[in-house]
Chains A and B, each alone.
Chain A
Amino acid sequence: MFIKGFFPILNRELLAYFRSPVAYVFIIIFLTANAGCTFMLGNFYDSQQASLEIFFLFHPWLYLFLVPAVGMRLWAEERRSGTAELLLTFPVRLTTTVFAKFSAAWLFIGISLLLTFPMIWTVHYLGDPDNGPIITGYLGSFLMAGSYLAIASLTSALTKNQVISFILSVIICLMLVLSGWGVLSETLNTVFPVWISDLVGQFSFTTHFDAIRRGVVDIRDFIYFISIIVIVLMLNVVILESHKAS
């Protein structure tokens, strides 16, 4: 049964985050960086808009470094400390273990994201914002963080070294962010047919997140992020299985 062992592993993993000072450092950096990007880089007050569009604008870039920092320890640490041998000999499916560990880290990022709630107060204090885009923005941001995290979990399974895991996941995530970047699309258009740059753009986190943060609810964008999470985590299972075999 998939669910057997899921919650104990999730709880333990979540507890491990909060037992480590790294978790609190992450939360402080995440909140500070969010505020810094929104108010200083994004000129939030100058925009004269009571919305969180600018707040969400920087999330793909913030997650690029912060989420791999959370995910790099997921498997690398288990393998380094030898606890993987313990964890993977419990009567729990490997798929369950992978999803449980991922869910704990995702929940941790979700908690960090929830701690940005003063931003919601701020826009409500300053004006009369439409709550729809705020809710979808948060949901989209959470899903996008999950996609980054799934990639970090995958790279963490590839190596015992957390630094290598971090660098690998930053590189992969950067490619998925940049593939939707306008400059890249224009460059591709000069060399390849337009459909190629469109196709590359469809794989980008930013392409799908931009629509969500603007409040455009297209189920395909949500499916995109969920698909990335599921596919990459299944790949994570395959990688762990192949590690065991070799």
Chain B
Amino acid sequence: MIRVNSLSKNFNNLLAVDQVSFEVQQGEILGFLGPNGAGKTTTMKMLTCFIPPSSGTAEICGFSILNDPLQVRTQIGYLPESAPSYDEMLVGEFLRFVAEVRGYSGIEMKRRVGMVIEKTSLREVENQMIDTLSKGYRQRTCLAQALIHDPPVLILDEPTDGLDPNQKHEVRSLIKDMSEERTILISTHILEEVDAVCTRAMIIANGHVVGYGTSDELLSQSLYRNSITLCLRNADPRKLLDEFNQLDFVYSVENVPDSREGMVTMRLFPKNKETISCQLEQYLCTKNITFEHFSVDRGRLDEVFRELTTVS
């Protein structure tokens, strides 16, 4: 549904997006991650035909952003960064305006406005001036306008930015609910969003794609992948370090500072990031070592993100 092919954008001498290529299919939610200024918003602006690319192209539902910009825009629901809307309008009025611009009138327009108001829970502020809305409601109002034409493709630039945890949860649930029959691209720098919403993620830095895959695939690049944190009471840390270091399935061991009285916390890194929980449990059992806490780390996205975006 979204096919991006070597998309680049120069602003004078600044290369904001460099040869970015990717595809998003129907039913997928692609999380677009990257530090500020990485090129996420610029890429989204090109996909929505707000700005033209310097080179490369993209297709949205088979329509080229270069040759069929009007067709592309009919296929897309777009939530720009910081959710702009017309402050002097009432929420309902604004949504009716968007519906009219998109070619709906009469009963059909009312039906669509009613539908998005329900979907985004805007009923109680329908007759309120946008200027007086809280950030959460403003975000939802702008999201509602993006849904009014029931688009097959949604491009959402930081849809949960500035929302409180409850509002974030609501917006994420809404995005997930809509994903089945849609293609969704969301940009974010909130890493937890990848696990919470996205089926896949792409990390971009300095205009380049530096990471791409499912959350699990990205986590597999983490140094902490399958590492085990072990808390033991009244143990000798030096003895334990020696013992664990001699295990053939352990790559390295570190003593994690623990402020609790009499507690020793160790982190064991497996060889080749393999799963070692069974082997370790067996070993602890054999050696009659009792533990207070045992946890396996899936990996840390923030560390992968930092690694990929700072190295590039």
Question: Within residues 220 to 246 of chain A, which ones have a CB less than 8 A from any CB in chain B?
Answer: 244-246
B86 beta carbon closer than 8 Å to chain A: yes
A9 beta carbon closer than 8 Å to chain B: yes
Choice from A9, A12, A82 contacting B89 with Cβ under 8 Å: A12
- The CA of A93 and the CA of B49, in the complex, are separated in Å by 12
User: Is the pair A16, B88 in contact by a Cβ cutoff of 8 Å?
Assistant: yes
B244 beta carbon closer than 8 Å to chain A: no
Choice from B50, B76, B85, B86 contacting A16 with Cβ under 8 Å: B86
The chain B residue sitting closest to A9, CB to CB, is B101
B84 beta carbon closer than 8 Å to chain A: yes
Question: Within residues 45 to 81 of chain B, which ones have a CB less than 8 A from any CB in chain A?
Answer: 45, 48-52, 70-71, 73-74, 76, 78, 80-81
- The CA of A85 and the CA of B80, in the complex, are separated in Å by 7
How many chain A residues have a CB neighbour from B under 8 Å?
25
User: Is the pair B86, A83 in contact by a Cβ cutoff of 8 Å?
Assistant: yes
Q: Please judge, given known A-B contacts A82-B80, A85-B45, A89-B48, whether A19 and B88 are in contact too, CB under 8 Å.
A: yes
Q: How far does the Cβ of B172 sit from chain A's closest Cβ, in whole Å?
A: 23
- The CA of A89 and the CA of B80, in the complex, are separated in Å by 10
- The CA of A19 and the CA of B52, in the complex, are separated in Å by 34
A5 beta carbon closer than 8 Å to chain B: yes
Subset of 29 A-B contacts with CB under 8 Å: A5-B103, A7-B100, A8-B97, A8-B101, A9-B101, A11-B100, A12-B86, A12-B89, A15-B93, A19-B88, A20-B88, A82-B80, A82-B82, A83-B84, A83-B86, A85-B45, A86-B80, A86-B84, A86-B145, A89-B78, A90-B98, A90-B101, A90-B102, A91-B70, A91-B71, A91-B73, A91-B74, A244-B52, A246-B11
Q: What 12 new A-B contacts, CB under 8 Å, besides A85-B50, A244-B52?
A: A5-B103, A8-B100, A12-B89, A83-B84, A85-B45, A85-B80, A90-B73, A90-B102, A91-B70, A91-B74, A91-B101, A93-B70
Chain B residues at the A interface, C-beta cutoff of 8 Å? 11-12, 45, 48-52, 70-71, 73-74, 76, 78, 80-82, 84-89, 93, 97-98, 100-103, 142, 145
